Structure 1
C-alpha cells in the first residue's frame, strides 16, 4: 500500500461530494447552542460593538465574567494553555479561566466528534498522543479523542520552523519527526524536501509561561549563540532542545 496524502484524496473526490461534505461540516461546526455557552449579560462598547460580559459555560458550574486585566501565569481550563491576552472569562469564586476563543468552540465537529470537558481525568489525544485534560472532541463509539489544538489543525500547515508548506499524510509506515525524532504514521510532510513534523511538534504553542518566571517564553528553533549548546536556566545543565521540560511548562 502506498502512502496516502489527504490532499490528493480530496482532489479525487467529485465536485458533488465536495459540496456535500462542505455543507455538512459547515452545519456541524455552527451548532454552538446554549448547551455549550449561554450569554447572560452583554454590554455595548463605545464603538457600538456588543460583547458578552457574563456567560454560563457547560464546563463550569458558576457564571463566568469577562475580565480585562493583565494575566499573570493564568492557564485556560479549556485548552490548558497560557492566557496571554488581557481579556478572558473567569469565575470570581474559583480559579477557573477560559480564553474567549475557547468559549465559542463548536459543539460538534465532523466525524462526529462532540466537545467534552474533563478537568481531573486525563485522556490521550489520538493525533499528538499527549496526555491531556480540559476540552476534547470525543467520539464515544470509536473511543477517539482530539485536544483543542489538534482539532483546529488543518490538512495544510505553514510553520515557522520550515520554509515550505507541509501536508498532512496518513502513511503505512512510520516517519520520524525532524524536530523530536518520534516516529508516527500520521505526520505533516514536505513535498519539496524530506522534512516531517508530527502533531505534537506542529501544535506547540509559540508563547507560554513558566511558573517560576514572570515573563512569557517564546518558542525558538536555534540557540541564541553559535555554540549549538542549550542550557536550562533552572538546573543549569545542558539540555537537548528537542526534549520537552517534564511537567513544568504550561
Structure 2
C-alpha cells in the first residue's frame, strides 16, 4: 500500500509499521533508525525525536539542520540534542560520513565528554569584532571577548631567552580539544614548518590543532570557530557546512568548508571569515579597514596597489583618510599567517 511515513514524511509503498493506538505509521527504513547516535560535529548524543513527543524547540518556527544547513520539518522526525538545541535531518545524522564510530551500548549519556578537555575558551558561537588602534600602533579589542589579536598588547608572556611572546589568553588554550570538523581529538602544537589549514586553505606556521592519526591541521584562528558565526559583514547568523555547492559571496571561491546563511543565499568561506577587521600596509600612514560594499557608485573599481580592476561585490580594504582601496591579497600578502 502507499502511505506517508510519519518520521521522514516520504511517500512510500510497502507494509507500514503501525501503532494501533495513535495511527503512527513508519516504513521499514525509518523503523530501523537508532534511538540515539553520535555525530562527529556535535559533542553530545543526538536522540531520535518527533513532534508527537511534544519536544519544545527553542526556535520551533524555522529550524535548520546543522549538518547540511537545509530546513528541517519539525512536524516529522529529526535528531535532536536538547542541551544545545542542535537539530539534524534523519538522513544527515544517520549518514556514515557524519557518524562517529563508537559503541553506544557501552556509552552512557555524558561519558563522551572528556573532563580533561577544557573548553572554557571556546563557544558554539564566534563573533568577529572591531579593533581599535592605540597611538603607539598596538591594537586593542573594542569588545571584551575579542580573541584574535594581531599585536602583543598586554597582558602577555615572554621568554627571557628568545623572542617568543604569548597573549595571556593564548597561553591558556586547552592542550587538547574536539572540533566539529574532525572525528579525532586534536592536540595543540607549535610548529615552525609551513602547513596548509584544512578550513581556510592558507599556509601557516605557529600554533595549530593537529591530529596525529590523520595529519589533520587547523590554524589557530580557524580552530576558534565552531558551528555558528556572527560577522559584521552580514546581517544574519551563519552556519558552517562541510560540503556545499555555493561559492563564497565575498571572493567567489568554491572551497569547503563554508558558512551558509539560513535566511538568504549568502555564503562565506573560512578565508574571508577570518580576515582581520583592520590591517596595515608597509609605510602607509593610516590603517586599512575591511569593507563589505563598494566605496561609491562610479561603476569603476581598481586596487590602488596593483592597479588591477576590483570586483565590486568582493570585500576589500579601504583607507577612508586617503580614499585608498586595495585587494585583500595586496594588503595582507600571499601568506599572512606565515611568520
How does the TM-score come out when normalised to structure 1? 0.65
Show the counterpart of 2:273. Answer: 202
Task: Find the counterpart in structure 2 of residue 28 from structure 1.
Answer: 117
Tell me, in whole angstroms, the C-alpha distance in 2 between the residues paired with 1:145 and 1:96: 22
Question: 1:180 and 2:270 equivalent?
Answer: no
**1:231 and 1:92 mapped to 2: Cα distance?**
46
For 1:233 and 1:249, the matched residues in 2 are separated by: 20
Superposed CA RMSD: 3.8
Deviation at 1:140, TM superposition (A): 0.9
For the structure 1 residues 30 and 221, does the alpha-carbon distance in structure 2 shift closer, same or farther, using more than 3 Å as the test? closer
- Equivalent-residue separation in structure 2 for 1:95 and 1:160 (angstroms): 34
Gapped runs of 5+ residues in structure 2?
Answer: 1-63, 73-77, 84-106, 122-134, 140-146, 179-183, 316-326
SS in 2 for 1:29: coil
Asked if residue 225 in structure 1 is aligned to residue 296 in structure 2, the reply is: yes
Seen in structure 2, the aligned counterparts of structure 1 residues 100 and 209 have a Cα distance that, compared at 3 Å, is: farther
Q: Is the 8 A contact 1:31 1:107 kept in 2?
A: no
2:187 matches 1:114: yes
User: Are 2:236 and 1:169 equivalent residues in the alignment?
Assistant: no
TM superposition score normalised by structure 2: 0.50
Q: Is the 8 A contact 1:230 1:239 kept in 2?
A: yes
Alignment check: 8 A CA contact 2:152 2:167 kept: no
Give the aligned partner of residue 44 of structure 1: none
Give the corresponding residue for 2:219.
147
Cα offset for 1:188?
Answer: 1.0
How does 1:1-250 map onto structure 2 within 5 Å? 5-6=66-67, 12-13=79-80, 20=110, 23-24=113-114, 27-29=116-118, 70=136, 82-83=150-151, 85-91=153-159, 94-110=162-178, 111-119=184-192, 121-171=193-243, 173-240=244-311, 241-242=314-315, 244-245=329-330, 246-247=333-334
Check the 8 A contact 1:31/1:108 in 2, yes or no: no
How much does 1:181 deviate? 0.8
Structure richer in strand, relative to its length: 1
Q: Assess if the C-alpha contact under 8 Å between 1:211 and 1:249 holds in 2.
A: no
Structure 1: tracts of 5 or more residues without a match: 33-68, 74-78
Task: Tell me whether 216-225 or 231-240 shows the greater mean CA deviation.
Answer: 231-240
1:80 touches 1:133 (CA, 8 Å); kept in 2?
A: no
The superposition leaves residues 138-194 of structure 1 with CA deviations (integer Å, 9 ceiling, x where unpaired) of 0010110011111110211111111111111233x5321111111124211112111
CA apart distance, 1:122? 0.7
Name the CA distance, whole Å, in 2 between partners of 1:98 and 1:91. Answer: 9
Contact map agreement 2:204 2:219 (CA 8 A) in 1: yes
Give 1 or 2 for the bigger CA radius of gyration. Answer: 2
